[in-house]
Amino acid sequence: MMRTRGLLAGLAASMLLLVGAGTAAAAPINVPWSPDDALDSEVSFESGGITFYGSLRMPVGDTRGVALVLPGSGPTDRNGNSGNLQLNTTAYVADELSRRGIASLRFDKLGSGRTGLAGVDSNNPPGFDAQVDNAADALAFLQQRTGVGADRTTVIGHSEGALTALRLAEADSAAFTHVGLLEPLSIRYLDLLTAQVDRNIGEAVAVGQFTEEQAASSRDRFAQAVADIRAGRPLSAEPDPIVDGLGLRQSATFLREADATDPANLAAALPDSYSSFLTCSDKDLNVSCGQVENVRVALGHTDLHFAHFANSSHMLGELGPLPADPNTALAPLPLSGEFRDAFGRWVDGL
């Protein structure tokens, strides 16, 4: 059991699903660059019979445009935080937008912050399609509240939020004209989870946490769970530490809907007129630059601004000379200087 716990601890640090869900905690440190919410206004909007709460950040001075900022996976709040993980990813993004004349809306996803789970049927939780609908309603609210049209509207998604942004464009490409994909989910959702599980199992074998036989059995059971999710079949009732630890049974509908489309295909379908911003980092433990390459190629027909970082974490934290490992991946860090510079250049040109 201790060996399995060790493997799951590694998965929690490096897997997109678990980072978003806040299943691992990092010791807080005093970071002097924490986002300043002094310019935020509390707002709310309705979507699917549920009231969502968020923050409208207005710039100091004239408003050049607006942006909807979408966080990563799990019950992530408006600031990009989940549980004990206080990483402030989307709050930092709002700061950078505000400095450059862009108003922004970010909101608490279901299960997080003030939105919570009020009005949600626990026996039939919303899937990924509902999450896209929530984002569409948020975008409509932002445009109505500010009076800014689609020609000056941007949708920015971090990690899983990038897939949500691409699905928004698929549903209504005329609703906005600029898209930012920050360390995005770049291959099919369940393919990414499989790659992350496979890598972590391999690392567990290398340090003696798993035998080769245990590794093969775990990979086979996970592959069967993925096949069952994609086919809409119930998952095996047999307990499995990885399947259970990742909450695949509870998330089956969400995962099936999120996995249904390849992000590269969605990117290829964006209008030629779009301006796009795409990032990857050599120190991202969740999404590799090799995976992001699929989306980079697919965005070639747009006005693409691509930034390849050397020292940014998946959560856009500044790692500098620090190694990319489970401890640094979940630590509250200042915003990556590489990201700030590249993002600022793109936003200034919108």
Domain residue ranges in the chain: 40-189+258-348
- Predicted local distance difference test score (pLDDT) of residue 150: 98
> Which residue, 259, 240, 292, 288, is CA-closest to 190?
259
Q: What is the pLDDT of residue 36?
A: 63
- H-helix or E-strand spanning residue 166: helix 160-171
Query: SS3 of 107, please?
Result: strand
Q: Which CATH number is associated with domain 40-189+258-348?
A: 3.40.50.1820
The confidence score (pLDDT) of residue 123 equals: 78
Quote the pLDDT of residue 31: 45
- pTM comes to 0.91
Query: Per residue in 69-123, pLDDT tens?
Result: 999 998 999 999 998 888 999 999 999 999 999 999 999 999 999 999 888 887 7
User: How high is the pLDDT of residue 30?
Assistant: 40
Q: Which long-range contacts (CB under 8 A, 24 or more apart) does 99-102 make?
A: 99/59, 99/344, 100/59, 100/64, 100/344, 100/347, 100/348, 101/59, 101/61, 101/62, 101/63, 101/64, 101/65, 102/59, 102/63, 102/64, 102/65, 102/66, 102/67, 102/154, 102/347, 102/350
Quick one: which of 168, 145, 146 has its CA closest to 155? 168
Q: How far, CA to CA in Å, does 130 sit from each of 48, 49, 65, 109? A: 8, 11, 26, 11
How many Å apart are CA 74 and CA 30, to the nearest integer?
Answer: 25
Alpha carbon of residue 64 to chain centroid:
26
Kindly state the DSSP code that residue 163 receives in the 8-state scheme. Answer: H
Low-confidence ranges of the chain (pLDDT < 70): 1-38
pLDDT score of 17: 43
How many beta carbons lie within 10 A of that of residue 148, not counting itself? 18
Residue type at 47 in one-letter notation: S
DSSP codes of every residue in 268-336: HTS-TT-EEEEEEETT-SSS-HHHHHHHHHHTTTSEEEEEEESSB-TT-BB-TTS--SHHHHTS--PBP
Burial (CB < 10 A; 0-12, 13-18, 19+), residue 3, is: middle
CA-nearest of 163, 99, 93, 83 to 128 is: 163
Distance in angstroms (rounded) separating the CA atoms of residues 328 and 161: 22
What local confidence, expressed as pLDDT, does residue 15 receive?
Answer: 52
Amino acid type, 340: R
Containing H/E element for 257? helix 252-259
Q: Which of 101, 83, 82, 104 is nearest to 37 (CA)?
A: 104
Write the CB contacts of 224 (distance below 8 Å, at least 6 apart in sequence): 236
